[in-house]
Amino acid sequence: ALPITRATEVRFASSLAQAIDLPQGAVVATVSARLVSGREIELPVRAGIDTAEWAWDRPDVRTRIRHTRPTVALSFPVAGAAYEGHHYLATLPLPARYALDGLRFQALAGMPPLSLLRVGVVDGATGRAAGLSLTAAYVSDTVRLAESAATPNVRLFEVLRGLGRAWVVESLRLLPDEGTLERFLRGPTRAGIDARHQALALAGDAEGVELPPGSRSSRADLAREVGGRLELRAEGPGLLVVTEGFDPGWAAEVDGRPARLLRINGGVMGVVLPEGTHRAVLQYRARGLAAGTLLAALAGLGLAGAILRRQI
């Protein structure tokens, strides 16, 4: 698990064992980046690109190995040998900048064992990096979970049933900065937040936004989903909450007219609805990431090496 962290890429140092016959580009594992909305983005880990045989430079291996040597993150001496072993740096770009709260690695059946040395995420917009912890520090998905009780050592969560992919809330609470927002998401019950009735947003993201008088909580239905297009029916007045990750590539219409799309609840989408029953359409058009790669060191993103023979 991760603290709620905004990121544009996943980085890790790893190596393979007994992988001499693995061809270039073969997918050996997957990394799933979990958004605070609950959505997961799956990224492949490829031989010769993201990782490689640790003994790639051993003379008898170098002449037979079927994949290239990627960027080396760390080299280490091999006892009694004249060559060095390596761990390799992988940089896996995300489609956009997202708020993440976890990473999940899955080894693929029949593939050589993968050893992880360090794992983390990097935010290209700020240069900040965060390391992965194997122990879940907290649950951040307030769309699906509501904190019902807490002690210094134990936190209990209630699964919010019946909300589905979208619903309408009656209140929008504006917060001054991302630090405050993240604290509210970590402890929604203590902050008096009920995701069924209230949404959270940064004041800068929702400047000038006011919900209509008489706003109330109600249901919303996903009528159709095709590719990057969502069609919904919802009852206003209120704020329509859609549990799809916010991205600048999304655009919204309400009853055929352009509508302002808000980033709410740490990374999902919201649209203000007037009184009445409405047809809301959200359309996604992909935007390219800014050119260039952030050269952030992985030092400090410590994670004990582990052999991935099972999902972690």
pLDDT level of residue 127 (50, 70, 90 thresholds): confident
Tokens of 204: 């800068």
How confident is the model over 212-240, as a mean pLDDT? 91
What band does 46 get if pLDDT is binned at 50, 70 and 90?
A: very high
Where do the H-state alpha helices sit in 141-189? Answer: 178-186
Cis, peptide link before residue 237, omega less than 30° from 0? yes
**Is residue 94 predicted with pLDDT exceeding 60?**
yes
CA distance 82 to 286: 49
Bridge partner residues of 238 (DSSP): 273
Average pLDDT score over residue span 129-138: 54
- Region 124-153: mean pLDDT is 57
pTM exceeds 0.85: no
Q: Provide mean pLDDT across the span 90-116.
A: 90
**Architecture of the domain whose range is 5-136:** Sandwich (2.60)
Q: Is 154 left (phi over 0), alpha (psi -120 to 50) or beta?
A: beta
Domain map (residue ranges) of the chain: 5-136, 145-284
